[in-house]
């Protein structure tokens, strides 16, 4: 199946979403190297639907808070935009993206394949300061795979028992990770920027054919769910909304379903809709989609 055929197929598929039912994430191809806290695999069918309403005018798809970047990887792999740009501030997360897209990807894949997962070996690799970006990338992938919930922020604990008592090996899939590294490196329409979301937003804000996917740390609401999940968890949410209001093209934002966020969205004249999803503990909950106009969701 060609890229265009496969996009059409998935787009047609996406037109039947019921926002009150959570998406079965097993139906979404996993492409990310990360298990990312707050990852948006569940949102992928919505993104396809949204892109279908815009497709003829989308040149650049820009994900401002990339994390594991599943949304951008899907848009790039399914050819839903000409150019895909990911932006992430965290040095560790950035090292993985940079290495997957540079000539050290083979080294990284080889390290993953050769690594024997034992608590001693994990300690050995993580006990020293990395001397290169690719070494930092290997350490980050390892930490992401052995920490609870894939959390990379300071203070995150390691998996002890894991799934089926497999302990640290629970989330270690070397061949899958290797394949994903090469799949990512083959995405010629994908660019990664190690930097600040606000800087990139201001650079592309007035491009008529640029659309933004904005999934910031959830720290605007009363619960501040994102506080302990990321090293860079504090952002100026008011400024983000203010800047989003200046986007010429379109944007889709995600937040926790909270009155503080709804009020913020209302003040800037944005449209909101609660969407059912399942969190990492498989509990059913709602998150908020925010955009200029979400009529496409309600049709
Ligand atoms: C909610 S997570 C994104 C999850 C991502 N959408 C996924 O599916 O994996 C938010 C991310 O924003 C990053 N971040 C925080 N402040 C940032 C900033 N000013 N610029 C760019 N990235 C930032 C954090 O490091 C974190 O990775």
pLDDT in tens, 88-113: 999 999 999 999 999 999 999 999 99
Candidate of 89, 213, 218 to mutate for ligand 1, largest count of ligand atoms within 8 Å of Cβ: 89
Nearest CA to ligand 1 atom 1: 217
Domains of the chain: 18-286 (3.40.50.150)
Residue nearest to atom 26 of ligand 1 (CA): 67
What is the Cβ-side half-sphere exposure of residue 35, based on CA atoms within 13 angstroms?
17
Is residue 35 a contact partner of residue 144, using CB atoms and an 8 Å limit? yes
Question: What is the per-residue pLDDT across 22-49, written as a single tens digit (0 to 9) for each?
Answer: 777 778 999 999 999 989 999 999 999 9
Residues in the chain: 299
Contact (Cβ atoms closer than 8 angstroms) between residue 221 and residue 261: yes
Summarised one tens digit per residue, pLDDT across range 226-284 is 788 999 999 999 999 999 999 999 999 999 999 999 999 999 999 999 998 887 677 78
The answer, yes or no, to whether any atom of ligand 1 lies below 6 A from the CB of 213, is: no
**CA geometry: angle 95, 97, 102, nearest 5 deg:** 90
Rounded CA separation 216/203 (Å) = 18
pLDDT over 70 (residue 10)? no
Crossing angle of helices 174-185 and 91-100, rounded to 10°: 70
Ligand 1 pocket test, pick from 230, 240, 253 with the greatest ligand atom count within 8 Å of Cβ, gives 230
Which residue bears the tokens 């270690």?
Answer: 172
CA dihedral 117→119→120→122, nearest 10 degrees, is 60
121/164 Cα distance (integer angstroms): 21
For ligand 1, atom 13: residue with the closest CA:
65
Q: Which of 34, 35, 67, 220 to mutate to test the pocket of ligand 1 (most atoms within 8 A of CB)?
A: 67
Q: How many angstroms does the Cα of residue 231 sit away from the middle of ligand 1? A: 9
Residue owning the nearest CA to atom 11 of ligand 1: 65
Q: Which DSSP category does 41 fall into?
A: G
Those residues whose C-beta lies under 8 Å from the C-beta of residue 289, and which sit 6 or more positions away, are 46, 252, 253, 254, 272, 273, 274, 275, 297
């Amino acid at each position: 199946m060609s890229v265009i055929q496969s996009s059409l197929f998935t787009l047609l598929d996406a037109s039947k979403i019921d926002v009150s039912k959570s998406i079965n994430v097993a139906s979404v191809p996993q492409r990310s190297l990360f298990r990312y806290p707050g990852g948006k695999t569940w949102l992928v069918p919505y993104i396809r639907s949204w892109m279908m309403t815009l497709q003829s005018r989308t040149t650049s798809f820009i994900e401002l808070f990339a994390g594991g970047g599943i949304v951008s990887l899907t848009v790039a792999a399914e050819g839903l935009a000409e150019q895909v740009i990911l932006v992430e501030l965290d040095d560790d997360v950035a090292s993985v993206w940079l290495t997957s897209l540079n000539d050290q990807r083979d080294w990284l894949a080889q390290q993953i394949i050769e690594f024997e997962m034992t608590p001693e070996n994990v300690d050995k690799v993580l006990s020293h300061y990395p001397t290169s970006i690719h070494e930092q990338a290997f350490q980050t992938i390892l930490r992401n795979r052995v920490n609870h919930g894939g959390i990379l922020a300071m203070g995150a604990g390691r998996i002890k028992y894991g799934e089926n008592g497999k302990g640290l090996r629970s989330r270690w899939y070397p061949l899958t990770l290797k394949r994903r590294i090469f799949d990512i490196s083959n995405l010629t329409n994908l660019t990664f920027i190690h930097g600040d979301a606000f800087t990139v937003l201001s650079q592309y804000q007035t491009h008529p054919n640029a659309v933004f996917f904005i999934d910031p740390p959830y720290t605007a609401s009363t619960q501040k769910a994102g506080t302990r999940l990321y090293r860079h968890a504090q952002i100026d949410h008011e400024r983000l909304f203010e800047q989003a209001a200046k986007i010429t093209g379109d944007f889709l934002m995600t937040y926790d379903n909270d009155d503080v966020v709804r009020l913020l969205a209302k003040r800037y004249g944005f449209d909101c809709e609660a969407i059912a999803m399942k969190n990492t503990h498989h509990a059913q909950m709602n998150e908020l989609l925010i955009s200029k106009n979400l009529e496409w969701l309600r049709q």
